[in-house]
Amino acid sequence: MIRARVVRDYRAQYANPIRFVEGEVVTLGARDAEWPAFAWTTTADGNAGWAPADWLKPLGDGRAEALRDYSARELDVETGDEVVLHSELGGWWWCTTSDGQYGWVPDGHLQPNGQSERTIA
């Protein structure tokens, strides 16, 4: 289990984050310029957001099939908070807070325990 300290506050950007399940068909849009591992994705219910492009199999008609379950839920964290890191994807970590909440936090806001302070732009 890898733990990290939050070194810069982060606030979730979407009130209603996109989510889908394996096998679901979604509409696939452009890749994100800042976070190229993610593509703009719209679910059948019209909810849209960024999703991992590698977790979507293009079907050739602007649609894609989800290869696994996904939630774009982000966490609100504050400097000094401790989180558990589960997996990294395109510059983001799927984390758990001390009160049991799960979600994504950008890598640049975290310092894994045991690593020296890094410069944050």
- pLDDT (tens digit per residue) in 39-50: 999 999 999 999
- pLDDT (tens digit per residue) in 72-108: 999 999 999 999 999 999 999 999 999 999 999 999 9
C-alpha–C-alpha distance, residues 88 and 91, integer Å: 7
pTM: 0.87
Q: Are 42 and 64 within 8 A, CB to CB? A: no
For the chain, give every domain's residue range: 2-13+77-112, 19-71
Tell the CATH superfamily of the 2-13+77-112 domain.
Answer: SH3 Domains (2.30.30.40)
Task: Tell me how many degrees the CA angle 6-95-15 measures, rounded to the nearest 5.
Answer: 90
